[in-house]
């Protein structure tokens, strides 16, 4: 029989319980992931899609992200307890039982798969299920504790929302535009994550994770962030070259790319963990504004590509 931690309490209101389980899904991360899937729904579409279908596709995608976070929280609960950044999460804080979180992850997986299969077809559901499996099995369990390249390879899981959305809206076909969105998120992930990895280096070491700053040093990590950022910028302009998006997005992509590149270069020159943390925060705003620029362009200057 599983023992209940002394600090665990069942005397909790429904709203408090809901808040805990919503927190387990890491809603801010999940919202950004789902947000990246929105342009893929519209890219190349001659007509506006059904709002009902869009809602359920995004809901299914969000549930997949929530399931991944729940499984990650369940598996890394001991490591999270050793990090100041994560020790107050529900599991290390003993606010909820591990078995409940595992069951929650399974429930979200079933709901995500069922919703996407029902409204988007088997390909969208299969990509969602594969994303969960890759994030949990390949990234969380295998890569993260073994290699400093963990976030580079594992970052692929963070970029699948556009693939799911495109497959769901195009009878299983994935558009070139969706693959470009995937590539954008994939290339954005290392400089985004390495900023916080430098800032929290000692905590990751205490948790037993061989993050890039601990293996190649802070300066070597900053140079790698710069390489990925330089590679990212021309990819963000590919939708314009291919005719998916127009000048509104193009101008925004150039300006935002320059802003992000400046932050990464400044971190390399200043060589301060606080500046690396600024890169982390800038990266979130950068991707959010980039996707918003795509949506504005699609709303004002529709340039569909077959």
In a domain, 83, yes or no: yes
Q: Domain range for residue 180?
A: 18-300
In a domain, 158, yes or no: yes
The token pair that represents 42 in the structure block:
């519209």
Q: What is the pLDDT of residue 130?
A: 97
Contact in structure between 23 and 92 (CB atoms under 8 Å): no
In a domain, 170, yes or no: yes
In a domain, 183, yes or no: yes
Q: What is the pLDDT of residue 93?
A: 84
In a domain, 59, yes or no: yes
- Reported in sequence order, the residue ranges of 202-277 that DSSP labels E, i.e. its strands, are none
In a domain, 257, yes or no: yes
Q: Which candidate, 27, 145, 41, 22, places its Cα nearest to that of 90?
A: 22
In a domain, 8, yes or no: no
Q: What is the pLDDT of residue 60?
A: 97
Q: What is the pLDDT of residue 3?
A: 42
Alpha-carbon distance of 111 to 104, in angstroms, equals 11
Question: Phi, psi at residue 171, to the nearest 5°?
Answer: 55, 40
Q: What is the DSSP letter of 46?
A: S
Q: What is the pLDDT of residue 289?
A: 98
Alpha-carbon distance of 19 to 187, in angstroms, equals 32
Residue entry with tokens 């591990």: 98
Q: CA 134, 140, 141 angle in degrees (round to 5)?
A: 95
Counted domains in the chain: 1
121: phi > 0 → left, psi -120 to 50 → alpha, else beta; which?
A: left
Contact in structure between 128 and 163 (CB atoms under 8 Å): no
Report the 10 Å Cβ neighbour count for 112: 26
Q: What is the pLDDT of residue 104?
A: 96
CATH number of the domain encompassing residue 186: 1.10.600
List per-residue pLDDT tens for the chain, 306 residues long. Answer: 344 444 455 556 777 878 888 889 999 988 998 999 999 998 866 667 889 999 999 999 999 999 999 999 999 999 888 888 888 888 888 788 899 999 999 999 999 999 999 999 999 999 999 999 999 999 999 998 999 999 888 888 889 999 999 999 999 999 999 999 999 999 999 999 999 999 999 999 888 899 999 999 999 999 999 999 999 999 999 999 999 999 999 999 999 999 999 999 999 999 999 999 999 999 999 999 999 999 999 988 654 443
Q: What is the pLDDT of residue 42?
A: 84
Alpha-carbon distance of 6 to 17, in angstroms, equals 18
Q: Which candidate, 184, 182, 152, places its Cα nearest to that of 167?
A: 182
Judge residue 173's burial from the number of C-beta atoms within 10 Å of its C-beta, 0-12 exposed, 13-18 middle, 19 or more buried. Answer: exposed
In a domain, 1, yes or no: no
Q: What is the pLDDT of residue 89?
A: 85
Contact in structure between 225 and 195 (CB atoms under 8 Å): yes
């Amino acid at each position: 029989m599983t023992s209940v931690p002394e600090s665990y309490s069942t005397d909790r209101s429904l709203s408090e319980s809901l808040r805990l389980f919503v927190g387990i899904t890491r809603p801010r991360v999940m919202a950004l992931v789902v947000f990246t899937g929105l342009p893929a729904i519209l890219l190349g579409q001659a007509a506006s899609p059904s709002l009902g279908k869009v809602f359920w596709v995004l809901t299914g995608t969000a549930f997949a992200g929530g399931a991944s976070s729940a499984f990650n929280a369940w598996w890394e609960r001991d490591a999270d307890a050793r990090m100041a950044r994560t020790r107050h999460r529900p599991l290390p804080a003993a606010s909820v039982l591990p078995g409940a979180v595992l069951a929650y992850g399974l429930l979200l997986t079933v709901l995500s798969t069922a919703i996407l299969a029902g409204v988007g077809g088997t390909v969208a559901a299969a990509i969602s299920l594969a994303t969960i499996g890759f994030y949990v099995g390949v990234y969380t369990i295998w890569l993260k504790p073994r290699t400093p390249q963990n976030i580079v390879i594992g970052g692929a899981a963070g970029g699948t929302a556009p693939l799911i959305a495109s497959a769901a809206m195009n009878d299983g076909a994935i558009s070139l535009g969706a693959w470009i969105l995937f590539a954008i998120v994939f290339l954005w992930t290392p400089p985004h994550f390495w900023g916080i990895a430098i800032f929290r280096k000692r905590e990751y070491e205490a948790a037993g994770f061989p993050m890039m700053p601990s293996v190649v040093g802070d300066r070597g990590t900053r140079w790698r962030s710069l390489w990925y950022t330089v590679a990212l910028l021309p990819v963000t302009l590919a939708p314009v070259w291919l005719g998916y998006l127009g000048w509104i997005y193009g101008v925004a992509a150039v300006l935002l790319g320059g802003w992000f590149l400046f932050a990464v270069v400044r971190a390399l020159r200043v060589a301060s963990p606080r500046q690396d943390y600024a890169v982390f925060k800038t990266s979130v705003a950068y991707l959010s504004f980039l996707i918003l620029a795509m949506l504005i362009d699609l709303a004002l200057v529709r340039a569909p590509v077959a």
